[in-house]
Amino acid sequence: MVSRVEHPAAGYKKLFESVEELNEPIPAEIKGVIPSWLGGSLLRMGPGLFEIGDEPFHHMFDGQAVIHKFDLKNGQVTYYRKFIRSDTYVRAMTENRVVITEFGTAAYPDPCKNIFSRFFTYFRGIEVTDNCLVNIYPVGEDFYAVTETNYITKVDPDSLETLKKVDLCKYLSVNGVTAHPHIEPDGTVYNIGNCFGKNMSLAYNIVKIPPAQKDKSDPIEKSEVVVQLPSSERLKPSYVHSFGMTDNYFVFVEQPVKINLLKFLSAWSFRGATYMDCFESNSSMGTWFHLATRDPADYMSSHKFRTSAFNIFHCINSYEDQGFIVVDLCTWKGHDFVYNYLYMANVKEEWEEVKKSATRAPQPEVRRYVLPLDIHREEQGKNLVSLSYTTATAVLHSDGTIWLEPEVLFSGPRQAFEFPQINYSRCRGKKYSFAYGLGLNHFIPDRIVKLNVQTKETWVWQEEDSYPSEPLFVPTPGATEEDDGVLLSIVVKPGADRPGSLLVLDAKKLTELARAEVNTMIPVTLHGIYKP
C-alpha cells in the first residue's frame, strides 16, 4: 500500500482554495456505467471558504462549512453545494471579517468599535463556534451537520437549506460531542462527549438519542446520558474524536492529547488565543482504554487497560470474540498532537516542504488491540490473549492494570490509512474482514485503500495528480458477501477540464466502474453519508 507517488506540481493546494456556492445543481458527464441499483445522494461536509475579506483561516478545520451533494437518479448525476448558514458564517459575511474564534484562528473585536466596546467584548464570555464542517448524520427523520462543539445544525438534505441551530447543552450534560456517533438499525444514536463530573472534575458522558418518535416529536428532546466514564486527569480531559461500540460494550480510548480546562476558560481573555492553544500533551500517561457495559449501562472500573502513547481520531471497528474485545484503530505514534501539523501553512507548502513537515509529525499505524474481559489475579505476568488469529497481547501487572501491546495491521513511513469505513450495516460490532480508507501521503490524500484486517492484504486505487476523499461503502442490495458493493469518493483533479468528480469503485477489486465529472473545483471534504 505504500505510495511512491510524488506531487512536485503541488496540485493539492487547490483543495484548500475558496469556492462559491452553486445557484442550482449542475449536470455531470458520466464515464463508465453506474450500477442501476445505485440511486440516492452522497452528502459530504467540509470547509469551503478559507478566508473572510483579507483575514485568512489558519487551520484545516477552520474554513466555513459547505455541504456537497452528488445526486444519482435514473442514470443521471448532478452536483450541488451550499454554505451552511451558521451564526458564525452569517455574522462573518455581514461584517466581512472573522467574528468567532475557530479551531486554529482567533477572532478579534471589531476595530470600528470604540475602546470600551472592545474591552467588554473580551469579557462577555466564550462564544463557541457553530461552524458545522466535519460530518452529517441522521437523527430521527432529520439530518444534522455537525462539528465537535455543543451546536449542531439541522439541514434539508434535498435543498441543502439550513433549517435550525440546536444547542445540545439544553438537553444533555455535555460540553460538546464527537462528529462520529454510532447509529443502530432502528435509528438510535449513541455518542460521547466530555462533561463536568463530580466535584468539578471532568468526565466523559456516553449519550443516547432515541429513534424517530411515533408522535412526531423531536428525538433530541428525549436525549439522555447512559453512562459516565472518569477522566484520568481532573481538570484535563482528553481530546475525543470517536469511540467504539460492540453489541454489549462501549469502548473509549483516552489519549494523551489533553484539553487544559484552565487554559480553555481563560483563553478568550487573551488576544489571539484559539482552541488549539488549549491543547497539551501528557508525556507520561500513555494511553488508557475504558469499557462500559451497554445493558445495564455501567462503567467497568475493575478493568484498567493501558498501553504506550498514541493519538487516536478514528476507530475502525470493535467486536467481541471468545471473551475478548477486539479493537481496530487508526493510530499515530506518540503524544505529540497530529493537528499541530494540519495548519494551512503546512498543507499548502511546496511538496518538498510538506514532506519535511510530515517527517517531524507522529507516524501513522493501523493497530489491533485485544482486551480480555475475564481477568484472574493469579495470572499476573502472563499473556491473557488466547485468540489464535492475532499477535496482540494483554499482560496483567501487580498494580491491577493490564498492559496492552498491539498487532500492527498496516504501517508505512509517513503513509496513513485514515478516514476508515466498513460495511457498517453488516459489520459494526461484528468480526469482519475488510476496511476501506483514504491513503494520506505525508498528509496529502492521494489514494483509496482496501485493507484485509485478517490477512493484512491491501488493494489500492490511485491516479496521477488526483486527490480523493474518504471512501463510503454502499452494499449491493441482497448481497451475501461482506465486500459486495461499491465505494463512493469525491475526486479532485486540478487542471482537468472537469476537475471535480464522483468516483464509483467496485469494492471487491477497487476497479473503477464509473465517474461523474463536473466543471467545477471541489475543495477538501472531511466526512459524509450516502442517503439511499
Binding-site sequence positions for Fe cation: 180, 241, 314, 527
DSSP state string for 123-169: TS---------SEEEEETTEEEEE-SSSEEEEE-TTT--EEEEEEGG
Would you say the C-alpha torsion 506, 496, 342, 59 has a positive or negative sign?
A: negative
Give the Cα separation of 323 and 240 in Å (integer).
Answer: 27
Q: Hunting for cell 462564544 — which residue is that?
A: 127
Contact, 64 vs 83, CB < 8 A? yes
3-state SS, residue 249: strand
Measured CA to CA, the distance from residue 38 to residue 474 in angstroms comes to 9
Residue 451 CA to residue 365 CA, distance in Å, equals 13
List of residues 6+ apart from 346 with CB closer than 8 A: 354, 357, 443
Task: List Cβ neighbours of 29 (8 Å cut-off, separation of 6 or more).
Answer: 498, 516, 517, 518
C-alpha cell at 474: 454502499
| Cα R_g (the chain), whole angstroms | 23
Q: Pick the closest to residue 231 from 211, 203, 270 (CA basis).
A: 203
Detail the residues annotated as belonging to a binding site: 180, 241, 314, 527
Contact 458, 433 (CB under 8 A): no
The total number of residues written for the chain in this structure: 532
Cα–Cα distance list, 508 to 60, 318, 474, 486, 513 (Å): 32, 22, 12, 8, 11
- Record the cell numbers describing residue 20, joined without a space: 462559491
Contact 468, 499 (CB under 8 A): no
Give the burial class of 232: count Cβ atoms within 10 A of its Cβ; 0-12 exposed, 13-18 middle, 19 or more buried. middle
Best CA proximity match to 219, nearest among 230, 227, 211: 211
Q: Give dist(CA 191, CA 146) in Å, integer.
A: 12
Could you give the CA distance from residue 160 to residue 129 in angstroms, rounded to a whole number? 20
Residues with Cβ within 8 Å of 334's Cβ and at least 6 positions away in sequence, in order, are 309, 310, 311, 362, 363
Residue 164: other Cβ atoms inside 10 A: 11
